[in-house]
Amino acid sequence: MKLGVIGYGNIAKALVGGVVNSGYLEADNIHVSSRNFEKIKKESGGMGCHAHASNKEVARIADFLVLAVKPYQYEAILSEINSEMKESAVLVSVAAGVTIEMMENWMGRASKIIRTMPNTPMQVGIGMIAVTPNGLVDKTESEWVISMFESVGRVAVVDESKMEAVIGACGSSPAFVYMMIEALADGAVLKGLPRDQAIELAAQAVKGAAEMVLETGRHPGLLKDQVCSPGGTTIEGVSALESAGFRTAVIEAVRRTVDKAEALKK
């Protein structure tokens, strides 16, 4: 199979790197294009991928074509490459707020499309990716794309009507978690820990807590309760977070993220 990638930002780099490093696909089968040809020639070519100055060239070659550009660029690029794509090609989107129906309308024809929502931890192989194939994508094609993304993280198949909620839960949420890690480190620095050590301790604690949720399957509330001894230090901190409206603030952040994603579709 030939994988085409149009655009080469952080998500595309993480995906291509993961696919190659995991051995899922040989670099010689990957073709990449971007406006900055010299940059992608150096970066993707260093792994053995093929760099192209033309989006149309990549579209002509690809069996699976990842459109890794900004949402506002989708209409123009789909218009540019539409007539060049193989009729059997599967288009894979990674953009927030761009629906399957919008892409079909811009292409002016029914097409095999898989809408996805990845997040940036793909760069270190532990991303979370939601996927939604349309009705023209067959089981084998869906499984190929799912396996591709599994090379850089976990994959969940979701109904497209829930995709905007996914953006709040995993697409944008790493930014919220980074803010929490920074705040945890700030608190430790306030109490005398060196900055580098404070960040390492906070980040590893967050990573470990996330793994506990995933590996045990237990509700996060139950795991939280197991850390809180009666009258102890942790429940004191939990009380402070509740008083400050921590839970409400996080819910509001997700709500506003989802509202913004919904607005992009209009």
The per-residue DSSP string of 27-79 comes to GGGEEEE-S-HHHHHHHTGGGTPEEES-HHHHHHH-SEEEE-S-GGGHHHHHH
- 156, 115, 109: which is closest to 133 by C-alpha? 115
Confidence of residue 238 (pLDDT cuts 50, 70, 90): very high
Residues 136, 112: contact at Cβ < 8 Å? yes
Domain spans, the chain: 3-159, 171-264
Beta-bridged to residue 133, according to DSSP, are 114
Task: Return all residues near 261 (Cβ < 8 A) that are at least 6 apart.
Answer: 96, 97, 164, 167, 168
d(CA 150, CA 22): 10
Span 60-89, mean pLDDT? 95
Q: Is 180 left (phi over 0), alpha (psi -120 to 50) or beta?
A: alpha
Give the pLDDT band (50/70/90) at residue 36: confident
Of 261, 252, 84, 58, the closest CA to residue 162 belongs to 261
Task: Indicate if the pLDDT at residue 241 is higher than 90.
Answer: yes
**How many Å apart are CA 144 and CA 136, to the nearest integer?**
15
The rounded percent of the chain whose pLDDT value lies above 70 is: 99
* Spatial CA neighbour of 169 closest among 199, 211, 129: 129
How high is the pLDDT of residue 45? 67
Q: Mean pLDDT throughout 210-230?
A: 96
**Average pLDDT rounded to a whole number, residues 22-45:** 86
CB neighbours of residue 168 within 10 Å:
20
Give the C-alpha separation, 239 to 251, whole Å. 18
Q: Which two tokens stand for residue 139?
A: 């089981």
pTM of the model: 0.89
For 40-74, how does the pLDDT look when each residue is reduced to its tens digit (9 = 90+)? 887 776 788 999 999 999 999 999 999 999 999 99
> pLDDT tens-digit profile of 189-204?
999 999 999 999 999 9
Instruction: State the chain's mean pLDDT as an integer.
Output: 93
How confident is the model over 27-31, as a mean pLDDT? Answer: 94
CA distances from 72 to 69, 77, 78, 103, 264 (A): 8, 10, 11, 12, 9
CATH architecture of residue range(s) 171-264: Orthogonal Bundle (1.10)
Flag whether pLDDT at 25 surpasses 70: yes
pLDDT, residue 128, reads 95
d(CA 28, CA 74): 26
Q: Are strands 64-67 and 90-93 parallel, antiparallel or unpaired?
A: parallel
CATH code of the domain occupying 3-159: 3.40.50.720
* Alpha helices in 82-172, H assignment, sequence order: 100-107, 139-150, 163-166
Residues 80, 107: Cα–Cα separation, whole Å? 10
Distance CA 88, CA 137 (A): 10
Contact between residue 67 and residue 78 where contact means Cβ atoms under 8 Å apart: yes
Q: What CA–CA distance (Å, rounded) separates 80 from 6?
A: 12
